[in-house]
A and B are shown apart, each in its own frame.
Chain A
Amino acid sequence: MKPQNNFDDQIRKMIIDSADHFGRESENSKERIWQHVQLKKEKRVALLWFRALAAACLLLLLVTSILVVSKVKNDNRLKTLVIANSSLEDQIYTMQQEVSTKPEVAIVSKASVPDTIYVEKTITVAQPSIKTEFITDTVYVDRTIYVEKENTQEMIAVNDPPSTVDTITQIMEANDHEKQIIIRNNSNQKQAKIRKLKIKLGGNKPVSKRADLALKTEL
Chain B
Amino acid sequence: MFDTFYRQMFHLSMRIIYNQHDAEDALITAFSKIFRSIGNFEYRGESSLTKWIKTIVINESIRILKSKPTLSYSEDLTEYESTDFDNADLTGVDIDRIYAIIGAMPDGYRTVFNLFAIEGYSHKEIADLLNIAENTSKSQLRKARIYIIEKLKTTQGYETTK
Beta-carbon contact of A37 and B31 below 8 Å: yes
Q: Of the 9-residue stretches B1-9, B42-50, B63-71, which lies at the interface with chain A?
A: B1-9
Minimum CB–CB distance for B56 against chain A, Å: 13
Chain A positions within 8 Å of B153 at CB level: none
Question: Which chain A residues lie closer than 8 Å to B2 at the CB level?
Answer: 34, 37
**Given the known A-B contacts A22-B10, A44-B36, are A12 and B118 also in contact in the complex, defined by CB atoms under 8 Å?**
yes
Stretch of B73-81, B83-91, B128-136 on the interface side: B83-91
Q: Does B143 contact A (CB under 8 A)?
A: no
* Interface members, chain A 8-44 (any B CB < 8 Å): 8, 10-12, 14-23, 25-26, 28-30, 32-34, 36-37, 40-41, 44
Q: How far is the CA of A5 from the CA of B87 in the complex (A)?
A: 10
Instruction: Tell me whether B149 and A7 are in contact (CB under 8 A).
Output: yes
Contact B85 A5 (CB under 8 A): yes
**A15 close to B88 (CB less than 8 A):** no
Pick the contact of B86 from A2, A7, A19 — CB < 8 Å? A7
Q: Taking A8-B116, A11-B90, A21-B95 as contacts, is the C-beta distance between A1 and B121 under 8 angstroms?
A: yes
A6 interface residue per 8 A CB criterion: yes
Alpha-carbon distance A149/B93, docked complex (angstroms): 192
Partner of A25, one of B20, B36, B85, B121: B20
CA distance A27 to B81 in the complex (A): 40
Q: Decide yes or no whether B14 CB sits under 8 A from chain A.
A: yes
Residues of chain B from 1 to 53 with CB closer than 8 A to chain A in the complex: 2, 6-8, 10-11, 14-15, 20, 23-24, 27-29, 31-32, 35-36
| Cα(A2)–Cα(B116), bound, Å | 8
Main secondary structure of the interface of A (DSSP, over half): helix
In contact, A2 and B88 (Cβ under 8 angstroms): no
**Chain B residues with Cβ under 8 A from A103's Cβ?**
none
A204 to B6, CA, bound (A): 186
* Chain B positions within 8 Å of A25 at CB level: 10, 14, 20, 23
Q: Does A3 contact B (CB under 8 A)?
A: yes
Closest CB-CB distance, A31 to chain B, in whole Å? 11
Cross-chain contact B6 with A10 (CB below 8 angstroms): no
With A33-B31, A41-B32: A15-B118 Cβ-Cβ less than 8 Å: yes
B28 touches A36 (CB 8 A): yes
Of the candidates B27, B85, B89, B149, the one whose C-beta lies within 8 Å of that of A33 is B27
A6's contact among B6, B15, B35, B86, by CB below 8 Å, is which?
A: B86
CB distance from B38 to the nearest CB of A (A): 12
Contact (Cβ within 8 A) B145 A33: no
> Once the chains bind, are A7 and B88 in contact (CB under 8 Å)?
yes
Q: Can you list 29 A-B pairs, Cβ within 8 angstroms, ordered by A?
A: A1-B120, A1-B121, A2-B120, A3-B120, A5-B85, A5-B86, A5-B145, A6-B86, A7-B88, A7-B145, A7-B148, A7-B149, A10-B91, A11-B98, A12-B117, A14-B95, A19-B11, A21-B99, A22-B11, A23-B7, A26-B6, A26-B11, A29-B10, A33-B31, A37-B35, A40-B28, A40-B32, A44-B32, A44-B36
Task: Give me the interface of A with B, judged by CB distance under 8 Å.
Answer: 1-3, 5-8, 10-12, 14-23, 25-26, 28-30, 32-34, 36-37, 40-41, 44
